[in-house]
Structure 1
Amino acid sequence: MKFRLATAAPWWRPANGNLLRIQGGRPLVGTYPISGAKNAVLPLMVSALLTPHLVTLRNVPANLDVAVLAALLQRLGCEMHWSTRAGDLALTLSADRIRPTGIDADLVARMRASVLLLGALLARCGEARLPMPGGDAIGLRAIDFHIAGLRAMGAVVALEGGLIHAKAPAGLHGADILLPQPSVGATENLLLAAVLADGTTTIRNAAREPEITDLAACLITMGAGITGLGSHVLTVTGGRALAGAVHGVMPDRIELGTLACAAAMTDGELMLPHGRLDLLGTAAESFAAAGVDLRETEGGLIARRANAGLCGIDITTQPFPGFATDLQAPTMALLTLAAGASTISETIFEQRFRHVDELRKMGADIAVHGRTARVRGVDRLRGAAVTCTDVRAAAALVLGALAASGETVLDGLDHLDRGYDRMTGKLAACGAAIVRTDG
């Protein structure tokens, strides 16, 4: 596994140590560079399969998920070249000759985004054979919407023995598709398939997340015909041969929101380059109500705690522009120190409160009833030994540790590596007492 990742992504060097030790109670002050968005770069990398021409992505985050997907694409025959200039990691992909089968199950099991290979391979090769994708254990996240949409476009899909085997004997064709829910993954998968399908495809009740707009913008640069960006109805005029493209990955809005919470929790002040309030959707208003002061400047956002302090709020996760489910765990960490009580309702994933028990070990007062959590603010958190259970839970525990008194030791760091680019080093540069060590 390590050999394959290093071959596909030579920059990937797992950080030394399997434990993260944080001495809390220090304000974060300085500039924290926001990386390219993890949730945007993965479908952008897959989009390179749609053309034999070169696709170059800039502002690529150096995280484990990117390394794993690079290894998957390499197994499909995709060639890639990495370069770094002034701290900007760039990737050029060439999918001149690709193989639609032979994907490693162990790599697919490590990431949910691997399901996006289905639409791209069907569109380009007329066939795809893919193990069932893995990812965080935060809910069922069924791929029924993906498969139903592809079948409407002419694909024949069979699920047997843990494998997805899809063919399009006569090629894919345009279709009018209504998604039962605005699924981000299904919208991306169908968009990738539709740009090469014959005719016009309309995706109704499409997800509106900024990462989808970023993907569509890249596909348009490659020559695709897509209208309705940022709306619930995407119309794709397919059948066009796609050219190459050079595209800069959008800033990571989840990292942005997470570090805004970190600044407020530690009573520090962070400059977050390239940050924009519009990327946060309604979360920007929720943060303001909770006492997170976000000010837009020419270079990004400045985040700090409001003069009135942190205050309890009620939030409900919703598709964009609603409060992002990926920000729920970091925001819960923030609210553990807010005056009064808060209510968090999770409507997207049914198992996304796995971080609650770990925050309780640090002294948080949280009660869970079904998919609703009641958080009562405490005066302080205490350092403890905790375990990361998924990508966003890992970030929440880091935030709790930064604000807690004493030392916190975090295990399960693969989750942190998957979603965050050099978080330990960037936090240390802002004054955090944080080090990665062996157990």
Structure 2
Amino acid sequence: MNDLLYVNGGNPLRGEITVRGAKNFVSKAMVAALLGETPSVLRNVPQIRDVAVVKGLLELHGVRVEADDAAGTLRLDPSDVEIAHVADIDAHAGSSRIPILFCGPLLHRLGEAFIPDLGGCRIGDRPINYHLDILRQFGAVVEKRPQGIYLSAPRRLQGTKIALPYPSVGATEQLLLTAVRADGITELAGAAIEPEIMDLINVLQKMGAIISVDTDRVIRIEGVERLEGYQHTSLSDRIEAASWASAALATGGDIYVRGATQPEMTTFLNTFRKVGGEFAVDDEGIRFYHPGGDLRSIQLETDVHPGFMTDWQQPLVVALTQAKGLSIVHETVYENRFGFVDALVGMGATIQVYKECLGGRPCRFGQRNFYHSAVISGPTPLSAADIEVPDLRGGFSHLIAALTAKGTSQVRGISLIDRGYEHFMDKLSALGAEFSRD
């Protein structure tokens, strides 16, 4: 595909768009279907590249996938699961980290699994060692080979007790997908409890799993011998909804996001209001709009759920360049998430990044030499520029900046945005954005 977009900015985005299921849940629910002995049906599925990658990987492993793209429905039949060829997995998985989550289900179904070198967004150090250590604790044998990592389970995996040093979403997903069919009880302390994790637990419970979640971030799973397929409608994508909300704020616009839901966005909505944005919630979605007047500067720290999620940070920072005063943002989840601000500075934003923790809560990165705090001084008019998209969320943030800036920007690398934003160019058109491609 042509990876270059010309964006003529400086005009408010106005209109209505629709968000479907959460990228960070749908792909995991697709993997969960491997655990069932009967077909599963997943609804509210977005047409994004990550879904296509997982669909391809499932098909390589013998799962029959029937997709109704218009309805957003997938039917997943895992009756004939088999081991895929190494080269095929490598070809499909080059840009995704999802293959690591296939391991637990495949070890239960086939007694073996293989994962190639993993790709994904280069926004921080996300080693797979956590995942491999978890699988070893269940009794998996891990063998590093030239093409990747081969795993085997000589006997049924055994329940275990694990305490995470940090509530990692990926590690929590790995444990859930492995523990539900392991022998005995598994206990995970320090678990992630994001809404997407809770929806994955809903799916696994529908399949026959026994899972409890305590208020102290402890998840207990009682393993079962057999799981059935599920029927489930995905929760809405709170990251995409917040991204469009930030676009409305930055451009002085008014966007109705059909499908957006309040409960998963409470923390974002509070912050949106503090900055000076307005919103209205109804049964079908949320309207986000700039009410006029000055936006207000804020102090913000990202955190694991129920805090302000890291994926909301980058789009909102673009809006904060238009707020009056000094805003301070302390990133505590990913260590290298402020690389995207270089492009904003090139467009006229006044942003300084720091290695120190500019916030009140303890942070993993304070003594580790990462630029993980930012001070944004505004409001500053943004000017058009040539921009290279660095990663998924940073890319959408650059797109918002180009839409906010006066003049025509060239945005390169927009295929990265397709990973997590369904039909984003159609949605831009619906909101009155001016853009073109070669």
TM-score (norm 2): 0.92
Equivalent pair of 1:54/1:94 in contact (CA under 8 Å): yes
Q: Give the equivalent residue in structure 1 for 2:359.
A: none
1:5 maps to none
Q: What runs of 5+ residues in structure 1 fail to find an aligned partner?
A: 1-13
8 Å CA contact retained: 2:331, 2:373? yes
Mapping 1:409-424, distance limit 5 Å: 409-424=410-425
User: What is the distance in 2 between the residues matched to 1:57 and 1:230?
Assistant: 28
Summarize the alignment of residues 100-111 of structure 1 with structure 2, pairs less than 5 Å apart. Answer: 100-103=83-86, 104-111=89-96
1:434 alignment partner in structure 2: 435
Q: Structure 1 residue 89: deviation in Å?
A: 1.6
Whether 1:254 and 2:231 are equivalent positions in the alignment is no
5 Å-filtered alignment, 1:198-347, equals 198-228=183-213, 232-347=217-332
Residue 216 of structure 1 and its aligned partner are, at CA, apart by 0.9
Asked if the contact 1:261/1:292 (under 8 Å) is kept, the reply is no
What SS does the aligned partner of 1:88 have?
Answer: coil
Contact kept in structure 1, 2:143 and 2:151, CA below 8 Å:
yes
Equivalent position of 1:55 in the other structure: 40
Change (3 A) 1:353 1:274: same
Asked whether the 8 Å contact 1:206–1:232 carries over to 2, the reply is yes
1:264 & 1:231 partners in 2: Cα distance?
36
C-alpha deviation, 1:278, in angstroms: 2.3
Q: For 2:234 and 2:201, locate their aligned partners in 1 and report how far apart those are by CA, in whole Å.
A: 12
Cα distance in structure 2, aligned partners of 1:275 and 1:214: 16
Quote the residue 1:390 is aligned against. 391
1:36 aligned onto 2:21: yes
CA–CA distance in structure 1, aligned partners of residues 382 and 153 of structure 2: 55
Shift of 1:182: 0.5
Match of 1:405 in 2: 406
Secondary structure of the structure 2 residue equivalent to 1:227: strand
Task: Say if 2:89 is the partner of 1:89.
Answer: no
Q: 1:91, CA displacement in angstroms?
A: 1.0
| Per-residue CA distance 1:307-339 (angstroms, 9 max, x = gap) | 443111121221111111111211111111111
2:82 aligned to 91, 94, 99, which one?
99
- 1:158-211, Cα deviation, whole Å (9 max, x unpaired): 334362222221111111111111000110011001111111111111101111
Letter in 1 for 2:247: A
SS at match of 1:347: coil
Partner amino acid, structure 1, of 2:414: L
Look up the equivalent residue of 2:294 and give its one-letter code.
G
Q: Distance in 2 between matches of 1:178 and 1:119?
A: 18
SS of 2:55's partner is: helix
Q: Residue 210 of structure 1 contacts residue 230 of structure 1 at CA under 8 Å; is this kept in 2?
A: no
* Shift in Å, 1:215: 0.9
Residue 40 of structure 2 contacts residue 75 of structure 2 at CA under 8 Å; is this kept in 1? yes
Indicate how the Cα distance of structure 1 residues 44 and 396 shifts in structure 2: closer, same or farther if over 3 A, else same: same
Give the aligned residue type for 1:297: D
| Counterpart residue identity of residue 225, structure 1 | I
Amino acid at match of 1:54: P
Alignment of 1:113 with 2:101, yes or no, is no
Aligned counterpart, 1:11 = none
- The one-letter code of the counterpart of 1:261 is S
Report SS of the residue matched to 1:340.
Answer: strand
Aligned to 2:365: none
Given that residues 181 and 205 in structure 1 are in contact (C-alpha distance below 8 angstroms), is that contact kept between their aligned partners in structure 2?
yes
Secondary structure (helix, strand or coil) at the match of 1:407 reads strand
Structure 2 equivalent of residue 18 of structure 1: 3
Distance 1:272 1:126, change over 3 A: same
**Cα offset, 1:81, TM superposition:** 0.6
Whole-angstrom distance in 1 between the partners of 2:351 and 2:98: 31
Percent identity between matched residues is 38
Following the alignment from structure 1 to structure 2, what is the Cα–Cα distance between the partners of residues 162 and 377? 50
* CA deviations over 1:116-159 (Å, ceiling 9, x no partner): 11222123222111113210111110122222222221112233
Shift of 1:250: 1.1
**1:339 match: secondary structure:** strand
For normalisation by structure 1, the TM-score amounts to 0.92
Shift of 1:305: 1.6
Distance verdict in 2 for CA 1:329–1:168, change over 3 Å: same
Cα distance per residue 1:393-436 (max 9 Å; x no partner) = 1110111111111111110012111111001111211211133x
Answer with 97-106 or 297-306: which moved more. Answer: 97-106
Structure 1, residues 46-68: CA drift from partner, whole Å, max 9, x if none? 01111231111111110111111
Tell me the number of residue pairs that the alignment of Structure 1 and Structure 2 aligns: 420
Shift in alpha-carbon separation, 1:294–1:169, aligned structure 2, 3 A: same
1:101–1:130 CA contact under 8 A, matched in 2: no
CA–CA separation in structure 2 for the residues paired with 1:291 and 1:113? 38
